[in-house]
Structure 1
Amino acid sequence: MSHLLIDRQPLGPGWVEHWVLNDPASRNALTGELVLALGQACARAAHDPALRAVVLRGAGGSFCAGGSLGGFASSLGQALAPGQPDPLVPMNREFGQMLEALCALPQTLLAAVDGPAMGGGLGLVCCADWVLATPGAVLAAPEVTLGIVPAQIAPFVLRRLGDARARSWLLGGERHSAEQALADGLVTEVVPDLNAGLTHRLQALSATAPGAVAATKALLQAGQPPLPAWLDQAAQAFASALRGPEAAAGLQAFAHKQAAPWRAPDGSTRA
């Protein structure tokens, strides 16, 4: 079964594609295969002049629960020998490369969010030009509550929200409702029905000239600081955190529905 479904539909004289994250059992978690598929879809779309818009959404009532840590399980809390290169670094960096490709799409990118958009899923949302969310959407960057660094998504959250709000989201780890995300500038519209909201928004977008949209997006990208070196540093931070004791303890506590060792029993912070 493909975990990325692509549905191409007419939009004026061109096309819109719906890219559907399709693994409801995991709430559409970002596996290596899904990240690769998204990267390949971006590479193809970047050279498709007939494609005018891309809609990114999730199947089964969830947008994306975040990165799948299954492939990292054997590395949790395990230090490397001195001088040994860490295979976690390029694995994490590949996700950032895919996020860069999403941001660089010449087409308008819309994110349609229902249910959870967590961690890496929040990173996907931050790449969108337009974000529609249902009242049931829940968005968060919970990595620090698990002893992990929100490494590759941090630059994209900062770009989207600005410094103060990005710090609140990334350092607090709290969940945010669609209305809260709207107030912070992450969500563009809260709509009761995603399909109806998308139909209305795509109709409005059909009035925009594809070449002008692509050129405007390129200008916006050029006005931002370069990402590659920042994301390289982020991948190192992610790998170091995952191999450290906090991630091992935090993820074990999460898996067993227990409080992490740094959390007080009642959920308050220890003084």
Structure 2
Amino acid sequence: MTPFQISRQGSVEHWTLNDPGSRNALSDSLVLALFEACLRARHDSSLRGIVLSGAGGAFSAGGSLGGFASAIGQPLMPGQDDPLIALNRSFGDVLHALGELPQWLVCAVDGPAMGGGFGLVCCADLVIATERSVFATPEVTLGLPPAQIAPFVWQRLGDAVARQCLLSGVRWSAAQAQAAGLVNTVVANDALPAAVDGAVRAYRATAPGAVAATKRLLQRLRTHAPDLRTEAATAFAAALRGPEAAAGLHAFSHQRPAPWAQEDPA
């Protein structure tokens, strides 16, 4: 099974995160495929729009720790370069590539959009979600910083709301995500395909050159902010090798509260 699928209907491509067994967790292979699709799309003048969705009743459960597992709680030797930095930065490259697409980008969300999946949603020009969709950035509850997605959440939601979700790991329903400004439209669980078709029809009235020029202008606003990809990757790698991540991820895997979530003694 291919973890990332692309289908085309005229001038519109549908990109599908296609690993239902992991709830479309962002594995190294999936991240690479998404990045390569962005690079190709950037130079395809016949492509007018992209719809990004997830298969199997989930958008994305977020980052996959498969490539990081052996490093959890394991400090580096003095002077050793950390390979985790490049691995984590690669997801930041995907977020930047999505944000730089000259085409309009619709995220069609059905089910959970967690962590890195939340970050993908923040890159969209339009977000349509089903009523059963849920959104969260739970990294801090696991002992990790939501490093690569933090700038994109901040840009999408503003400082106050970004702090609320990034620093608490709060779980939002689709309606709450819409109220926060993450989601544009919430539809019934069986109405997502029709809603996406309606959005595509509306976008067909837009001139592709004008869309690309407008997105370039909007992107200029982002270029005034510092590029945090390397700093974010360094912070993530250091946290993953530290004691909090080891304790948090162990507790999560055993379905127990993390040490810091337990009540303080009276």
Same fold (TM over 0.5): yes
Match of 1:171 in 2: 167
Matching of residue 86 in structure 1 with residue 85 in structure 2: no
Change (3 A) 1:244 1:58: same
Q: How does 1:187-198 map to 2 (within 5 A)?
A: 187-192=183-188, 193-198=191-196
Tell me if the contact between 1:89 and 1:235 (Cα under 8 Å) persists in the aligned partners. Answer: yes
**Among candidates 210, 217, 220, match of residue 219 of structure 1:** 217
Give the counterpart letter for 2:95 in structure 1: L
Match of 2:144, SS state, is coil
Q: Residues of 2 paired with 1:252 and 1:122: CA distance? A: 23
Change (3 A) 1:226 1:86: farther
Match of 1:7 in 2: 7
Matching of residue 16 in structure 1 with residue 36 in structure 2: no
Match of 2:57 in 1: 61
Match of 1:241 in 2: 239
Give the counterpart letter for 2:72 in structure 1: L
Question: TM-score w.r.t. structure 1 length?
Answer: 0.95
Query: Identity across aligned pairs (percent)?
Result: 62
Tell me if the contact between 1:263 and 1:270 (Cα under 8 Å) persists in the aligned partners. Answer: no
Match of 1:74 in 2: 70
Q: Residues of 2 paired with 1:60 and 1:184: CA distance? A: 26
Change (3 A) 1:163 1:172: same
Q: Residues of 2 paired with 1:45 and 1:225: CA distance? A: 21
**Among candidates 167, 174, 184, match of residue 180 of structure 2:** 184
Q: Residues of 2 paired with 1:227 and 1:151: CA distance? A: 15
Match of 2:250 in 1: 252
**Among candidates 199, 203, 206, match of residue 205 of structure 1:** 203
**Among candidates 94, 97, 106, match of residue 101 of structure 1:** 97
Match of 1:223, SS state, is helix
Match of 1:62, SS state, is coil
Match of 1:229 in 2: 227
Displacement after TM superposition at 1:151 (Å): 0.6
Q: Residues of 2 paired with 1:8 and 1:147: CA distance? A: 40
Displacement after TM superposition at 1:223 (Å): 1.5
Q: Residues of 2 paired with 1:48 and 1:229: CA distance? A: 26
Question: TM-score w.r.t. structure 2 length?
Answer: 0.97
Match of 1:114 in 2: 110
Q: Residues of 1 paired with 2:85 and 2:226: CA distance? A: 13
Displacement after TM superposition at 1:229 (Å): 3.4
Change (3 A) 1:212 1:270: farther
Displacement after TM superposition at 1:22 (Å): 0.4
Match of 1:70, SS state, is coil
Change (3 A) 1:270 1:83: farther
**Among candidates 22, 25, 35, match of residue 21 of structure 2:** 25
Displacement after TM superposition at 1:44 (Å): 0.7
CA offsets, 1:159-179, max 9 Å, x none?
000100000010010110111
Q: How does 1:133-172 map to 2 (within 5 A)?
A: 133-172=129-168
Q: Residues of 2 paired with 1:157 and 1:41: CA distance? A: 22
Q: Residues of 2 paired with 1:82 and 1:270: CA distance? A: 37
Q: Residues of 2 paired with 1:60 and 1:118: CA distance? A: 15
Q: Residues of 2 paired with 1:8 and 1:270: CA distance? A: 58
Q: Residues of 2 paired with 1:202 and 1:66: CA distance? A: 26
Unaligned runs of 5+ in 2: none
Give the counterpart letter for 2:198 in structure 1: H
**Among candidates 32, 54, 70, match of residue 36 of structure 1:** 32
After TM superposition, the runs of 4+ consecutive aligned structure 1 residues lying more than 6 A away are none
